[in-house]
Amino acid sequence: MILVVGATGELGSRVCKNLIAKDQSVRAMVRRNSNQEVVETLKTLGAEVVVADLKDPTSLKLACIGVDTVVSTATSVSRPSETDTFESVDHQGQINLVTLAKECGVKHFVFVSFPEFQGTFPLQSAKRAVEASLQASGMDYTIIQAPHFQESWLTAPTGINPETNAILTFGGGEGKVSWIAIDDVCEAISTSVKAPEARNRILKVGGPEALSQQDIILLCENLTGKSFKRENIPQEQLDTMSASEDPMMQTFSGLMTVCVNEGCEVDNTEAQQILGFRPRPIKDHLTQLVASLSSS
């Protein structure tokens, strides 16, 4: 039995579908306030649904009973609230999950993270703490570190604005990033579940080429034959966000400062050897994206 934590999220729901298609038994962990349409879809696919919350250790323990493998894609980054914070969910909640998974006899834990970026910000601190907890747990682990998702970061509000056809850059957008498709992350996770060589490893996965935001603008213009407006968030504004007391602003600044000049280029050699990982070209996503802009 594979427990997928974050099963109603964009990545987690795809992981459930992918694993079930590979004839794996899946227990999908959802919350009481989860999107019920997604929950019903998971049931229709054949997942066993369990209601639990990373902030509630008692419910987590019940969710972990009888589970061989845990896959955790959960994060508060897309739906923050007063109770769902980087500290309560991404840090302490995930450590609760690691602890209780170990207590319940889970053999393998797959955790979704991202490569180490410069600077300190709440989401990065949480990810590193969970990685350390997992590595010290005694369970077999696989840590999948993926950079920025194409579908999340290259569309509004951080990428192309479909209403204005303007493309946003951060600090000039010269840092090269191995932007990755969500389905490629999903496939890497699903493959790692049954790959013995993936155990007790940190595997970095990224797109096949590293492109700056400026490179992406030029590629979009070549695909469409027209110019796009440029809008830029200056480095000074990112610095102001980083110095704020708002954990979300601090994290947003930390994630997007990568685009300034630091970049995040991923070498997929190890992931290809172990998982057979072959990510799709970013041009495929951008072609679909600009086509939808033209028709809108």
Q: What is the per-residue pLDDT across 184-243, written as a single tens digit (0 to 9) for each?
A: 999 999 999 999 999 999 999 999 999 999 999 999 999 988 888 889 999 999 999 999
Q: Report, as an integer, the average pLDDT of 103-128.
A: 96
Note the pTM of the prediction, 2 decimals.
Answer: 0.93
d(C-alpha 144, C-alpha 112), whole Å: 5
Which pLDDT value is given to residue 294? 57
114, pLDDT greater than 90: yes
Domain with CATH 3.90.25.10 in the chain: 149-180+207-264+280-296
pLDDT band (50, 70, 90) for residue 20: very high
Which pLDDT value is given to residue 256? 94
Q: Classify 149-180+207-264+280-296 by CATH class.
A: alpha beta
Which pLDDT value is given to residue 295? 55
Which pLDDT value is given to residue 70? 98
d(C-alpha 161, C-alpha 230), whole Å: 11
Residue 274: phi and psi, rounded to 5, are -90, -40
d(C-alpha 179, C-alpha 204), whole Å: 12
Q: What is the mean pLDDT of the chain?
A: 93
**Can the peptide bond before residue 157 be classed as cis, meaning omega within 30 degrees of 0?**
yes
Which fold, 2-145? Rossmann fold (3.40.50)
Instruction: Kindly list the strands in the beta sheet with 2-5, ordered across the sheet, starting from the edge strand earlier in the chain.
Output: 48-51, 26-30, 2-5, 69-72, 108-113, 140-145, 201-204
80, pLDDT greater than 70: no
pLDDT band (50, 70, 90) for residue 56: very high
Q: Report, as an integer, the average pLDDT of 160-188.
A: 92
Q: Report, as an integer, the average pLDDT of 263-276.
A: 96
Which pLDDT value is given to residue 79? 74
Domain with CATH 3.40.50.720 in the chain: 2-145
Which pLDDT value is given to residue 33? 86
Q: Is 183 or 157 the better-scoring residue by pLDDT?
A: 183
d(C-alpha 34, C-alpha 6), whole Å: 10
